[in-house]
């Protein structure tokens, strides 16, 4: 497997790639040409938060759940995943062994996924399970590494996405008396609250503190233990942004992603996953006005798509996912050229042990949703 960032190795295998020599237009033209040439063996998946120039090459677009579901039935050998690392790992796990999943930029990670690692989760589990006799069911948001998905599979839990979190958490609460939800505290808190769990029944485990900053008594008393993680993009939206927008235009409907803080989620008119946001705007009558609390590339795309509606970002600041932003047409071109040369680069492969248990947790999620 080649490493795109080892320029010496890249040059040895792909002497024709010199990213400094091609203009943006030439890069796009070459991507188009190569995509056409490789169409019988290639499919490109694009997450909604990708930039327009990248998304224009995607055969399938969607949010995490939609892309994971679509990836299951792909029949082309090469899958280029224009998204972030954990999504490409999921695609590798749900596709058959003969598929090659490629991430155009290996540094396209997710700041939320980086807020929990396997060592920290194992340590927290030891403390939490020692603190109470009651059964704890672990649930992880799909935005995490395969190693964390595997932990959940090993401990009879499930994965969830923002589209199916309600169903998965309800399932977990029927199965056990408590819930450990990671890595996103906001999705966990908002969904649990929607299901009738009060805020004082939830505690936050912070891995930077001794025992997560909790006492065994607090764990025993709590219904839900939330990991401290968050999405830096969605946490950027504030209640003041809602107040400001509503003051300016009371007819504006505020619609936000459940990765936003409780304060924002509670005060918004509507909240739901990326696909919920897209569908709601799509079905709204002409003349509707939306202030959207999610990643800016998607908001801008929705704004261009629905000229008869007013669609603005909820925040006056750029809420950009900088890790998604790393995937550029230049890296897509490098991936396409490498496929053409039968020397795929940036291949994402999850080891068998991790995959076995992560798949158990993924299958559980697909069963519930
Ligand atoms: S938007 Fe947030 S959760 Fe999604 S990939 Fe970017 S950092 Fe991660």
Q: Quick one: pLDDT band at residue 1, thresholds 50, 70, 90?
A: very low
The minimum-distance atom of ligand 1 relative to the CA of 83 is 5
Q: Residue 2: its pLDDT value, please? A: 44
Nearest Cα residue to atom 8 of ligand 1: 110
Task: Please tell me the predicted confidence (pLDDT) of residue 32.
Answer: 97
- Listed in sequence order, the residues at least 6 apart from 335 whose beta carbon sits closer than 8 Å to its beta carbon are 80, 102, 104, 344, 345, 346
Taking the centre of ligand 1 as the mean of its atom positions, its distance from the CA of residue 231, in whole angstroms, is 6
Residue 19 has pLDDT above 80, yes or no: no
Is pLDDT above 60 for 3?
no
**Architecture of the domain whose range is 113-231:** 3-Layer(aba) Sandwich (3.40)
Task: Give 7's pLDDT tier (boundaries 50, 70, 90).
Answer: low
At residue 261, the pLDDT reads 98
How many other C-beta atoms are found inside a 10 Å radius of the C-beta of residue 343? 13
Tokens, residue 214: 């909790």
- Write the DSSP string, 68-121: HHHHTT--SSEEEEES-HHHHHHHHHHS-TT-EEE-S-TT---TTGGG--HHHH
pLDDT band, very low/low/confident/very high, at 319 (cuts 50, 70, 90): confident
Distance CA 125, CA 135 (A): 12
Mean pLDDT of 255-261: 98
Structure confidence by residue, pLDDT tens digits, 199-250 = 999 999 999 999 999 999 999 999 999 999 999 999 999 999 999 999 999 9
At 93, list the tokens: 């796990």
pLDDT tens for residues 27-76?
Answer: 999 999 999 999 999 999 999 999 999 999 999 999 888 898 898 899 99
The beta strands (E) that lie in 94-252 are given as: 100-102, 136-141, 158-160, 178-182, 202-205, 224-227
CB 352 within 8 A of CB 11: no
If pLDDT is split at 50, 70 and 90, which confidence band does 15 have?
very low
CATH code of 7-108+323-349, in short, is 3.40.50.10800
Separation CA 275–CA 281 (nearest Å) = 10
* For range 167-184, the mean pLDDT: 97
Question: What 8-state DSSP symbol labels residue 21?
Answer: T
Q: Is the CB of 323 under 6 A from ligand 1?
A: yes
295 CB under 6 A from ligand 1?
Answer: yes
What's the pLDDT at 316? 84
Whether 84 lines ligand 1, by a CB cut-off of 6 Å, is: yes
| Range of weakest confidence among 8-17, 173-182, 283-292 | 8-17
182 has a pLDDT exceeding 80? yes
Structure tokens at 19: 């990213």
The residues near 189 (Cβ < 8 Å, ≥ 6 apart) are 199, 202, 224, 226, 262
Burial of 313 (0-12, 13-18, 19+ CB in 10 A): buried
The rounded Cα 250 to chain-centroid distance in angstroms is 32
Span 234-313 CATH architecture: 3-Layer(aba) Sandwich (3.40)
Whose C-alpha lies nearest to ligand 1, atom 3?
231
Q: What is the DSSP letter of 196?
A: T
Q: Which of 80, 91, 84 is nearest to 109 (CA)?
A: 84
Please give the Cα distance from 110 to 11 (Å, whole number).
28
CA–CA dist 233, 242 (Å, integer): 16
Question: How many angstroms does the Cα of residue 13 sit away from the middle of ligand 1?
Answer: 33
Angle between helix 85-94 and helix 146-154 axes, rounded to 10 deg: 50
Per-residue pLDDT at 13: 43
Average pLDDT over every residue of 187-196: 98
Whole-number pLDDT of residue 161: 93
Among 312, 308, 321, residue whose Cα is nearest residue 293? 312
Ligand 1 pocket, residue 148 CB under 6 Å: no
Tell me what pLDDT residue 353 has: 95
Mean pLDDT of 160-164: 93
Residue 4 has pLDDT above 50, yes or no: no
- For the chain, residues classed under CATH 3.40.50.10800 are 7-108+323-349, 113-231, 234-313
Count how many Cα atoms sit within 13 Å of the Cα of residue 129 in the half-sphere of its side chain: 12
The CA distance from 4 to 211, in Å, is: 39
Distance 46 CA to ligand 1 centre (A): 14
pLDDT at 8 over 90: no
Q: Is 50 exceeded by the pLDDT of residue 365?
A: yes
Residue nearest to atom 1 of ligand 1 (CA): 321
- Res 21: pLDDT: 77
Smallest CA-to-CA distance from 296 within 51, 92, 6, 11 is with: 51
Which DSSP helix (H) or strand (E) runs through 27?
Answer: helix 24-37
Question: Which residue, judged by its Cα, is nearest atom 6 of ligand 1?
Answer: 321
Is 192 within 8 Å of 180 (Cβ atoms)? no
Residue 112 Cβ contacting ligand 1 at under 6 Å: yes
pLDDT digits 0-9 by tens, 107-155 = 999 999 999 999 999 999 999 999 999 999 999 999 999 999 999 999 9
Alpha-carbon distance of 169 to 257, in angstroms, equals 17
DSSP state of 111: T
Question: At 136, is the secondary structure helix, strand, or coil?
Answer: strand
Task: Please report, rounded to a whole number, the percentage of residues in the chain having pLDDT higher than 90.
Answer: 89
- Mean pLDDT across the chain, nearest whole number? 93
């Amino acid at each position: 497997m080649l490493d795109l960032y080892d320029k010496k190795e890249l040059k040895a295998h792909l002497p024709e790639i010199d990213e400094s020599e091609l203009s943006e237009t030439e890069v796009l033209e070459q991507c188009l040409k190569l995509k056409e040439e490789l169409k019988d063996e290639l499919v490109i998946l694009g997450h909604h938060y990708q930039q327009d120039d990248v998304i224009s090459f995607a055969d399938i677009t969607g949010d995490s759940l939609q892309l994971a579901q679509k990836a299951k039935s792909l029949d082309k050998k090469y899958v280029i995943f224009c998204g972030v690392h954990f999504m490409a790992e999921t695609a590798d796990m749900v596709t058959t062994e003969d598929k090659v999943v490629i991430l155009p930029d290996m540094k396209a990670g997710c700041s939320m996924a980086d807020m929990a690692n396997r060592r920290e989760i194992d340590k927290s589990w030891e403390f939490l399970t020692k603190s109470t006799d009651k059964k704890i069911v672990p649930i992880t948001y799909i935005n995490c590494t395969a190693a964390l998905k595997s932990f959940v599979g090993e401990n009879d839990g499930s994965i969830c996405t923002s589209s199916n979190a309600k169903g998965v958490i309800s399932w977990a609460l029927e199965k056990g008396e408590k819930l450990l939800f990671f890595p996103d505290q906001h999705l966990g808190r908002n969904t649990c609250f929607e299901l009738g769990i009060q805020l004082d029944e939830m505690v936050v485990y912070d891995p930077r503190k001794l025992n997560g900053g909790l006492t065994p008594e607090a764990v025993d008393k709590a219904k839900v233990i939330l990991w401290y993680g968050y999405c830096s993009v969605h946490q950027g939206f504030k209640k003041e942004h809602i107040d400001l927008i509503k003051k300016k235009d009371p007819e504006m409907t505020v619609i936000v992603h459940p990765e936003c803080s409780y304060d924002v989620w509670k005060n918004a008119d509507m909240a739901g996953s990326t696909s919920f946001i897209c569908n709601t705007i799509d079905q709204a009558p002409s003349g509707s006005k939306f202030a959207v609390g999610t990643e800016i590339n998607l908001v801008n795309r929705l704004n261009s798509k629905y000229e008869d509606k007013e669609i603005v970002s909820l925040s006056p600041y750029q809420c950009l996912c900088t890790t998604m932003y790393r995937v550029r047409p230049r890296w897509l071109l490098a991936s396409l050229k490498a496929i053409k040369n039968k020397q795929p680069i940036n291949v994402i492969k999850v080891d068998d042990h991790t995959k076995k248990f992560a798949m158990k947790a993924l299958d559980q999620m697909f069963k519930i949703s």
